[in-house]
């Protein structure tokens, strides 16, 4: 099972870009990278996903390295409401599309 | 609000009691997942349903745990003879049919405390 490694915590100033790294060096060619976040005591919320191309939506951008062994989630203008635990997840398509969560990164956005 | 609901939101029970949780997925979603999350950790997969069929169970799901999805709509997760180690957040997620979108929509979770 592909595993992910993320820093335990990060700080970011309000209004600045937050760059959250993730290492997934054992990822296979058909396994997608997903990012979710979890605000205290709520269920995880979908942010973005990708396979090998960079992706952007209204919430964030996802940059995946060419060798696919790591990725970075970018929140372009962090707000206080972005304070949450961010999970980098590998979806395993041949195994019922289960999500394997790591321990995540606690992002603290400070005024 | 993702549209996935779970009931109850909180449950306190004494060790040895049985508890049952319910998950109502988004109506057209045929895939349903249960996860367990302990304090400070990410969610861990427990079991997966496609329609009414339970296709995958984690080794975390001991014989005290049972899950059902009788008509392919709502699902229940029952824990018999609860132990203190069962204290956790139990999360349900659903996903639509087809091969284009595997995004999982999570409910708010049921927090279980076993005293």
pLDDT in tens, A8-65: 999 999 999 999 999 999 888 888 899 999 998 789 999 999 998 899 999 999 999 9
What pLDDT does A1 receive?
Answer: 56
Q: pLDDT over 70 for what percent of chain B? A: 97
What pLDDT does A2 receive?
Answer: 57
> Which has more pLDDT, A92 or A81?
A81
Residue contact A43–B108, C-beta within 8 A:
yes
**Averaged pLDDT for residues B5-34:** 96
pLDDT in tens, B23-32: 999 998 999 9
Dihedral sign computed on CA atoms, order A85, A58, B102, A45: positive
What pLDDT does B19 receive?
Answer: 98
* Token reading at B63: 């014989």
What pLDDT does B16 receive?
Answer: 97
Contacts of A44 in chain B (CB under 8 A): 43, 91, 93, 106
Q: Which residues of A11-40 are buried (b: 16+ CB within 10 A; e: fewer)?
A: ebeeeeebebebbbeebeeebbbbbbbbee
Interface with chain A: mutation pick from B43, B58, B110, highest number of A CBs within 10 Å = B43
């Amino acid at each position: 099972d592909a595993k992910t490694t993320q820093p335990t915590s990060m700080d970011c100033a309000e209004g600045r870009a937050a760059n959250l790294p993730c290492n997934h060096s054992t990822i296979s060619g058909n396994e997608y990278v997903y990012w979710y976040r979890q605000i205290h005591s709520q269920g995880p919320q979908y942010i973005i996903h990708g396979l090998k191309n960079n992706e952007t939506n209204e919430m964030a951008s996802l940059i995946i390295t060419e060798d696919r062994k790591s990725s970075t989630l970018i929140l372009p203008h962090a707000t206080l409401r972005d304070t949450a635990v961010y999970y980098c997840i590998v979806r395993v398509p041949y195994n019922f599309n289960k999500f394997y969560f790591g321990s995540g990164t606690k992002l603290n956005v400070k005024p | 609000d993702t549209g996935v609901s779970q009931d109850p939101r909180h449950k306190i029970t004494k060790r040895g009691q049985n508890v049952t949780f319910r998950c109502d997925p988004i109506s057209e979603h045929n895939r349903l997942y249960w996860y367990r999350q302990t304090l400070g950790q990410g969610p861990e997969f427990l079991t997966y349903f496609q329609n009414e069929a339970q296709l995958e169970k984690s080794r975390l799901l001991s014989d005290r745990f049972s899950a059902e999805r009788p008509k392919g709509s709502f699902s229940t997760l029952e824990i018999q003879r609860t132990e203190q180690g069962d204290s956790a957040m139990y999360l349900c997620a659903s996903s639509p049919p087809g091969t284009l979108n595997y995004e999982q929509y999570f409910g708010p979770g049921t927090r279980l405390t076993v005293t």
